[in-house]
Each structure stands twice: as structure tokens, then as C-alpha cells.
Structure 1
Amino acid sequence: MSNEEILSTLQELVAEQFAVDVESITLKTSLADDLGADSVDFVELVMAIEEAFDVGEIQDEDFTGMKTIGDAVAFIAGKLN
């Protein structure tokens, strides 16, 4: 799966979870600052990522370093390769 495909799928997940337009989500979109994600939102997003990308269980410490959509794409790409 290419980074573009990962981004596209992630954009759909984030748009649905945060009720924003897919087009407004870029690699630079900040999960906390731009989307207002709190700890519950992060947990729900991690669960959605685990299911959508079939990457197994993502540890909390793995996801805490993710600040932007770009960080999440890179993380997912690393898990898939």
C-alpha cells in the first residue's frame, strides 16, 4: 500500500470521526491543534486504524509521538512494510 493510499484511507477515517471535510485533511493537519483530538479521540482513532489497515494492536507509546496526519501515515507505512 502506497503512502498516498494510506493517506486517502486515513483521511476518510479522520473525516468521519471528527466530522470534517476530507479535503481539509493534509499531511500537516495537527491531530490536537487542528482537529481538537483528546485522549478518547486518539483511542478511537487508533482502533479505527488497527481495523482499517489490519496492523494488529498499536501500543499507546507508539501513537503518542504522532502529532500530525503525516506522522500517522509514516507510522502506518512502517507497520505495513
Structure 2
Amino acid sequence: MAQSEQEILEGLADIINEETGLEQDAVALDKSFTEDLDIDSLSMMTIVVNAEEKFGVRIPDEEVKNLTTVRDAVDYIAKAQA
């Protein structure tokens, strides 16, 4: 079942918090993973794997490079669930 944008954002914030220790409040749709949240490529891959499990979606490696902001990831997951 597809989740709302807010549910996906909260789930991603939980995953990012577990991986990086960043507060969930810091994870907002307009934030860049690398520039604003300071997430490196290794952490990003862990976040992607955890997001795939949590949301029941597949995010191919070639798509990960296109997920530069939190909104990109939320939109991708929402579309993949539809």
C-alpha cells in the first residue's frame, strides 16, 4: 500500500537518524543529502538499502545518483509504491 509523502519523509528521517545520528527534524524535503545533511556515498548506500526494505521498493544503483535531495527520494519511493 502506498504511503503518504509525510509517512515516507518520517520513515526516511528515521533511517537517516539511525545511519548518521542526525536529528529527524533536520531531514526536510528541501535538504540535499550531501550538501545539507553531509551524507557520504557509503552512508547513502546503507540508507538506500534500508529504505528499500522499509518501503518495499527497489532503487536501482543507477537511480541513486539522481536522488540528490530528500524530496527526490520521497518522490521516487512514492512513485515506486504506486
The DSSP-based 3-state class of the residue aligned with 2:8 is: helix
The DSSP-based 3-state class of the residue aligned with 1:62 is: helix
How many equivalent residue pairs? 80
Deviation per CA, 1:17-76: give whole Å up to 9, x if none. 111111111001110012222221121011111111111x32111111011111100000
Please list every run of 5 or more consecutive structure 1 residues that lacks an aligned counterpart in the other structure: none
Cα RMSD over matched residues?
1.0
Comparing 67-76 with 27-36, greater Cα deviation is found at 27-36
The DSSP-based 3-state class of the residue aligned with 2:22 is: coil
In the TM superposition, structure 1's runs of 4+ consecutive aligned residues that sit over 3 Å from their partners are none
Aligned to 1:70: 71
- Equivalent of residue 45 in structure 2, options 39, 43, 50: 43
